[in-house]
Amino acid sequence: MAITHVIRGADHISNTPRQIVIWKALGHEPPTFGHQPLVLAPDKQVMSKRRGAIAVGEYRRRGYVPEAVVNYMALLGWSYGGDQEFFSLDELLQNFDMNRVSKKPASFDPNKLDWMNAERVIPFLRMEGLLAETLGPEERSHLERVVELLDDRLKVLTDIVELAGFFLAPDVVYDKIAVSKVLAKPGADKILVGLHKVLSECPDFQPETLEGAMRKLAEDAGLSLGKIVQPLRVALTGRTASPGIFETLSLLGREVSLARIDAARGLTE
């Protein structure tokens, strides 16, 4: 198959001698074998399905951009030298060298991946005036949670402006069709009044608590949960589609959510 090099985990070192013997017995020249230290879980134990290992497809489903995942994985056990942490794929192809692979196992740090994932979208948000030039710990943590919540909606980095704008902008830009189809319908104002009261009284703003409170509101009003959620979604985001409404509420926080509900009431009949 014209394979010249085999690079794999150090746990396969014990397999190598007999594989070389088999290779030669079949009349072939063995490839060059290289063995890298294993990537460890945060607790310094070998990663497995039960300890920290997650399929690549799951990272995509959770909203991690490919550039961030490739960049982070490349830096596990390898370094280019200096302080550079962000590389394009072309830069990685050009600069990768097995001689720079560490002989010590690297630990997979989910927090570092979250940071790198969020860092990739920051320039696009700044160009639109949605982020300050300097981010404090709270702002950065908020951005990481926003990017994670966007799930697989984030196909390319530039999508972040459209998908996350309502989380970061001070005011909601209302889609005219969303207003006419949802907020302008009879009964929308009454639903928003009820939502304002329920959300004001919620003991906390965690998604589970918010879901329970809104389900009870819908039940008491004799409405489906969807009839309650849709006016709220438009009030919070300005559109009819968004990430999960309970997670969105939690990320926006009580003060912002209540202010947006009040603003949306001005658009109801």
**Among all residues, which ones are annotated catalytic?**
49
- Classified as helix, coil or strand, 33 is strand
User: Which tokens go with 87?
Assistant: 């590389």
CA–CA dist 259, 266 (Å, integer)? 12
Hey, what are 259's tokens? 């202010």
CB 38 within 8 A of CB 108: no
- What gap in Å lies between CA 33 and CA 126, rounded to an integer? 46
CA 182 – CA 267 distance, rounded (Å): 10
Q: What is the chain's alpha carbon radius of gyration, rounded to the nearest angstrom?
A: 25
CA atoms of 231 and 194, how far apart (whole Å) = 11
Closest listed residue to residue 231, CA positions, set 242, 222, 247: 242
Find out whether 178 and 231 touch, Cβ atoms under 8 Å: no
Q: Write the DSSP string, 70-100.
A: HHHHHTSSB--STT-----HHHHHHH--GGG
- CB count within 10 Å of CB 21 equals 11
